[in-house]
């Protein structure tokens, strides 16, 4: 049936707000934060007021408010209510660290599954996962037992985000965003965060996790024919090889990672490449969205009678 132009299907609401359908449904079922209208077949339809309310929810989440506390603030937006709400992210981060220290994979899974169901990927990346990575990096400097924690966590994170990306890719069509490890790091968590954020935004993703020789990157691009190339650059990067690898690349090219911050001036001096530079996964996603790389790939993933 044709949709009333005033009402929006769930896929369009996801495009407008960045909140995926699974999270919107969880907010509705568990907390009653958003109660959309329904078609005769059970599909959800949202108004502009719903879109505005979702943006208000995101504002509270980004201030550290737990999703279970947001409804009180939406219904009673007084200064006194706001004062009683604490920051939930520090507590969540500590719970994850305790699971990592204990090498408790099941507990770590359960904790992250809970928050992934309730918070948008961008919010989780900014307020939980990026701060967690920073805390862990400091924790692992010169500490006995750090290596086992690092191997455990990195293996788990790769598996977790890889499964999410695979699931997100299934209903998506069109050429993928090609995400490549452009440094010598054996594992780059920011690569996986970049790929996860892009796939959650509705862009199919292909990943080359290991670094590709400079002479072979153009071949990979020619064979995969991606919509864009995202090179993730950790601190350990060979600038000469990186510059050579970009010769002959004719798709939009993005560089992201800590090496961009360290070597920005040298990279910007390269004359042959029109590059989009960013330091964090969130900034990389913003750059991809600004050039509409993530646009036009998402499908309306609403299930009937759900």
What are the pLDDT digits (tens) for 218-250?
A: 999 999 999 999 999 988 788 888 888 898 898
Contact 204, 165 (CB under 8 A): no
pLDDT at 64: 76
pLDDT at 87: 64
Q: Domain total for the chain?
A: 3
Q: Which tokens belong to 156?
A: 């788990």
Contact 211, 177 (CB under 8 A): no
Tally of CA atoms within 13 A in the half-sphere of 16 that contains its CB: 17
Q: Would you say residue 271 has pLDDT above 80?
A: no
Exposure b/e, 157-184, CB count within 10 A at least 16 = b: bbebbeebbeebbeebeeebbbbbbbbe
Tell whether 191 and 207 lie within a shared domain: yes
What does the alpha-carbon distance between residue 47 and residue 24 come to, in Å, rounded to a whole number?
14
Tell whether 286 and 181 lie within a shared domain: yes
Closest CA to 123 of 54, 77, 205: 54
Last residue of a domain, one of 83, 99, 124: 83
Last residue of a domain, one of 38, 58, 83: 83
Q: What is the mean pLDDT of residues 92-117?
A: 94
Tell whether 143 and 195 lie within a shared domain: no
pLDDT at 1: 43
Report the percentage of the chain scoring pLDDT > 70. 90
The neighbouring-strand residues paired with 181 are 232
73 falls within a domain: yes
Last residue of a domain, one of 107, 134, 166: 166
Please give the residue range of the domain that contains residue 202. 177-290
301 falls within a domain: no
CATH number of domain containing 253? 3.40.50.280
Closest CA to 281 of 152, 82, 128, 175: 128
pLDDT band at 66; cut points 50, 70, 90 = confident
CATH number of domain containing 27? 1.10.1660.10
Tell whether 119 and 32 lie within a shared domain: no
The whole-model pTM stands at 0.83
What does the alpha-carbon distance between residue 62 and residue 12 come to, in Å, rounded to a whole number?
22
104 falls within a domain: yes
Q: Which tokens belong to 22?
A: 């699974």
211 falls within a domain: yes
Tell whether 183 and 158 lie within a shared domain: no
Tell whether 130 and 195 lie within a shared domain: no
Contact 251, 229 (CB under 8 A): yes
Tell whether 200 and 271 lie within a shared domain: yes
207 DSSP assignment: E
281 falls within a domain: yes
291 DSSP assignment: T
Tell whether 237 and 256 lie within a shared domain: yes
172 falls within a domain: no
Residues 6 or more apart from 111 whose CB is under 8 A from it?
92, 95, 96, 99
Q: What is the mean pLDDT of residues 151-169?
A: 95
The span from the first CA to the last CA of the chain, in angstroms, equals: 17
- CA 91 to chain centroid, in Å, comes to 21
Which stretch of DSSP H or E encloses residue 240? helix 239-245
225 DSSP assignment: -
């Amino acid at each position: 049936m044709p949709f009333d132009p005033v009402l929006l299907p769930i896929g369009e609401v996801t495009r407008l707000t960045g909140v995926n359908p699974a999270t919107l449904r969880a907010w509705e079922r568990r907390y009653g934060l958003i109660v959309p209208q329904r078609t005769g077949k059970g599909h959800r339809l949202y108004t502009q007021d719903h879109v505005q309310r979702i943006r208000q929810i995101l504002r509270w989440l980004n201030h550290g408010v737990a999703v279970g506390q947001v409804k009180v603030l939406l219904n009673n937006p007084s200064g006194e209510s706001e004062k009683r709400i604490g920051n939930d992210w520090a507590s969540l981060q500590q719970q994850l660290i305790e699971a990592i220290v204990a090498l408790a994979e099941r507990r770590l899974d359960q904790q992250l599954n809970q928050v992934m169901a309730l918070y948008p990927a961008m919010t989780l990346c900014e307020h939980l996962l990026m701060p967690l990575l920073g805390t862990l990096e400091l924790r692992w400097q010169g500490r006995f037992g750090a290596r086992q924690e690092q191997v455990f966590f990195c293996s788990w994170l790769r598996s977790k985000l890889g499964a999410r990306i695979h699931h997100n890719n299934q209903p998506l069509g069109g050429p993928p965003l090609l995400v490549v490890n452009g440094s010598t790091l054996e594992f780059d968590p920011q690569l996986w965060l970049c790929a996860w954020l892009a796939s959650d935004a509705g862009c199919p993703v292909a990943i080359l996790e290991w670094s590709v020789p400079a002479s072979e990157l153009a071949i990979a691009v020619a064979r995969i024919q991606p919509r864009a190339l995202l090179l993730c650059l950790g601190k350990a990067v060979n600038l000469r090889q990186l510059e050579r690898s970009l010769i002959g690349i004719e798709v939009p090219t993005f560089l992201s990672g800590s090496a961009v911050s360290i070597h920005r001036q040298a990279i910007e001096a390269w004359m042959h490449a029109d590059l989009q530079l960013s330091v964090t996964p969130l900034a990389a996603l913003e750059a991809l969205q600004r050039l509409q790389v993530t646009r036009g790939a998402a499908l309306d993933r609403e299930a009937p009678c759900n």
